[in-house]
Structure 1
Amino acid sequence: MELSSIKDAFDRVAKKQKLSCSKTQEVIDQIFQEIEKALEKIQSARDSDSQLDYKNSLSDLRTILKDIAPLSQLEGTQKELNIALSKYAKILEKSFNPDISKAYRNSDFDAHIVNQVIASHFYRQGLFDIGDCFISEAREPESAGALKSPFLEMYQIVEAMKSRNLGPALKWAANNSDKLKQNGSDLVLRLHSMQFLEILEKGGRGEALKYARSHLTPFAFNNMAELQKLMACLLWAGRLDSSPYSALLSPTNWEKLAEELTRQFCNLLGYSYESPLGVTIAAGVQGLPPLLKFMNVMAGKKHEWQTMKQLPVPVELDRDFQFHSIFVCPVSKEQSTEDNPPMLMSCGHVLCKQSITKMSKNSTKSFKCPYCPTDIEATQCRQLYF
């Protein structure tokens, strides 16, 4: 809600600024036109050596500019802009509390691990100079090589792909083909297909056919439809951009191929595709406002905040930040935890452990499922793992 109100206020400021700019330009153009007309009259007066016409032209210009009253015209729109800006600043000040320490938890951080996470973020973004500088200033030089080397290789491959050079990518894929196959990735096929199209686009039909026989044939059994499309491209050698298969040459395909290579490269290194630091900060930006609002309510109970195992209020995050399934017991309405995990009953319904324990009188008697007439034995319930 807060972000929405901030955006609305920003949009109002942007609209008022646009109107003010447009009005200012309109007044300037009007003044410019009148000055141009006056200059033409003055020039005519000079040509005719008429001092009276010269003075009359200046007098007329002064009268016209007074009638235009530029300051009066601009006053209204400028005032509206200033009001909108003033309100926007107040909304920002109200929404973005500078003291975010209220939402902190007393947690012990391993400085070495935090430094590695930050350095790894720089390296995976291709900011190698900044990463080296950070490692040096953090006094962790022994970490530089291990963190930097894999991403340096990845970016060398990606940069080569931007220049339509698939050689390094094909070499890396060949060296890791078994691992890629285990992951169910079709990256090797996609790289060879793109290389085939590059050769064909340059008009080398024979060379392209030779390449297909050497590198695409092993994929024929499971990818016949795609390979048939590639073989049909042979008929359009040298003019593939005007063929029914021109979409295969789209720059978007190169971008997607580079993205897939980056994803698989990080996967084989045991890293996530997205930067953990970037995801953490982005999720924190979304979660911080409700946490601050909650802490304002809990201002007199800081001790409880530090010892809580879970928040008493929901903190909504976008689906991009939802990595694990969450179960809320339909009976107690509480979210499952390690101490209170979801339990699968013999009827197929799921409740949290504490609810089952309570309904079964500490597992001493059977009970009826709240959602069907099945009699449930607590000892037969099994814990679910998401």
Structure 2
Amino acid sequence: MELKAVKDAFDPVTKRQKLCSSKFHEAIEQIGQEIEQALIKLQSADASSSYPDHKAIVSDLQTKLKEISHVSQLESSQKEVNGALSRYPKQLEKNFNPDISKAYRNVDFDSHTINQIIVSHLYREGLFEVGDCFADEAGEQEATALKSPFIEMYHIQQAMKSHNLEPALKWASANCEKLRQNGSDLELKLHRLQFVEILQNQGRDDALKYARTFLSPFASSHMAEIQKLMACLLWAGKLDISPYSDLLAPINWEKLCEDFTRQFCNLLGQSFDSPLSVTVSAGVQGLPTLLKLMNVMMNKKQEWQSMKQLPVPIELDKEFQFHTIFVCPVSRDQATEENPPMLMSCGHVLCKQSITKLSKNSTKTFKCPYCPSEIDASHCKQLFF
């Protein structure tokens, strides 16, 4: 699936469409101007007693309109766009394979785990009735245990989107010890934004009272942040033109909502991103490579259903790279305590036994299998996951 080829084919289409559109708009604007001028002449003629020939004005207008926009010229521009559009679908068909079933491989999935992932995803999205229905029809009643906490999270998120921090503040206060153990400063961030809201909407006195009650406990560990907020008191009512106007940016609400969701899921023992959405996104990214591989194997009449591993690597972005285990890319062996992963000076990682073989028992340098760097085995460091 060559996205660059598709983009290269689409660019001329957009350029021709923009050119055609500009020609049409220019012609329409000129036509409007000529009509307005003709109307002014007609109105002035009506106001006078001479009553000149109106037909002459209309005839002159018709002549000018024909000069402005020949139908053949506009049709020619439109034909160019239509021609480019007719070729573009062919490029799409060439690069996008509508049949992705050949990239499917028969794998024995744990249906119980998959059902729980789906139910969890539906609850995360606030689709509680749909999640209940799916859990009931799939016979996964225990999966509904996540419903109650996700309902709480969903309501707090909706309140934050409406600039109501009270539910989030109550939750953070109830879980303050756990948040501190995790090194989170979510509670301070919530109070900071609430302080700014009070300062903007209620005034300096109420903001100062709020700071003394809720911000003072953080002074010992976040003095610089507290001092910045206290300086905002000098700009009450005009914080938007102050050196601290960044505190009013809408992005602060988005980041805070994201931080809250992350901490809530963390305390719940869930990942921040939905496992289902991560799986689908990773699959979409790896699908082009799989389709290319399948085309090659089909041409060579090879079967991949029985393969234990893919003959080519599937490159995914960093957010899809998880290292609960490490498999050496050279030996294909899983790392163990006796054969740990080792970080080479170039940044790539191999298992210790592979480095030992490549370096002839550390007696000589060797070339990294993935880059031109020369590696000294004595400079490799063990990694701990």
TM-score exceeds 0.5: yes
Q: Map Cα deviations across residues 137-194 of structure 1 (whole Å, 9 max, x no partner).
A: x455736742432222112112222333222111111221122112110111222222
2:330 aligned residue (310, 331, 334): 334
User: Are the structure 2 counterparts of residues 221 and 45 from structure 1 closer, same or farther at C-alpha, using a change threshold of 3 Å?
Assistant: closer
Shift of 1:243: 3.8
Which residue in 1 is equivalent to 2:26? 26
Which residue in 2 is equivalent to 1:246? 245
Q: Matched residues in 1 for 2:281 and 2:127: separation?
A: 19
1:80 aligns with 2:74: no
Q: What amino acid does structure 2 have at the position aligned with 1:87?
A: R
Query: Root-mean-square deviation (CA), in Å?
Result: 4.3
TM-score, normalised relative to structure 2: 0.77
Question: Counterparts in 2 of 1:1-386, with a 5 A limit?
Answer: 2-31=2-31, 70-128=70-128, 130-131=130-131, 134-135=134-135, 138-140=137-139, 142=141, 145-203=144-202, 205-299=204-298, 304-324=303-323, 334=330, 336-338=332-334, 343=339, 351-352=350-351, 355=354, 367-371=361-365, 385-386=384-385
Deviates more, 1:289-298 or 1:206-215: 206-215
- How many residues align? The count is 373
Shift of 1:345: 9.8
Q: Map Cα deviations across residues 179-222 of structure 1 (whole Å, 9 max, x no partner).
A: 21121101112222223333333455454444334333332222
**How many percent of aligned residue pairs carry the same amino acid?**
63
| Contact 1:343 1:384 survives alignment (8 Å) | no
Q: Matched residues in 2 for 1:339 and 1:248: separation?
A: 47
Q: Map Cα deviations across residues 215-234 of structure 1 (whole Å, 9 max, x no partner).
A: 33332222121122223334
Q: Matched residues in 2 for 1:164 and 1:225: separation?
A: 25
Shift of 1:317: 2.3
Q: Matched residues in 1 for 2:342 and 2:66: separation?
A: 90
Q: What amino acid does structure 2 have at the position aligned with 1:121?
A: H
Q: Matched residues in 1 for 2:376 and 2:249: separation?
A: 59
3-state DSSP class of the match of 1:254?
Answer: helix
Shift of 1:123: 2.6
Deviates more, 1:122-131 or 1:254-263: 122-131
Shift of 1:307: 3.1
Q: Map Cα deviations across residues 320-365 of structure 1 (whole Å, 9 max, x no partner).
A: 3233399796xxx7264427999459998875466468679xxxxx
Alignment gaps of 5+ in structure 2: 367-374
Q: Matched residues in 2 for 1:226 and 1:15: separation?
A: 50
Q: Map Cα deviations across residues 40-62 of structure 1 (whole Å, 9 max, x no partner).
A: 888899999x9x96776776666
Q: What amino acid does structure 2 have at the position aligned with 1:187?
A: L
Shift of 1:24: 2.4
Q: What amino acid does structure 2 have at the position aligned with 1:334?
A: V
Shift of 1:117: 2.3
Q: What amino acid does structure 2 have at the position aligned with 1:75?
A: E
Alignment gaps of 5+ in structure 1: 361-365
User: Are the structure 2 counterparts of residues 135 and 15 from structure 1 closer, same or farther at C-alpha, using a change threshold of 3 Å?
Assistant: farther
Q: Matched residues in 1 for 2:6 and 2:91: separation?
A: 7
Q: Matched residues in 2 for 1:260 and 1:268: separation?
A: 12
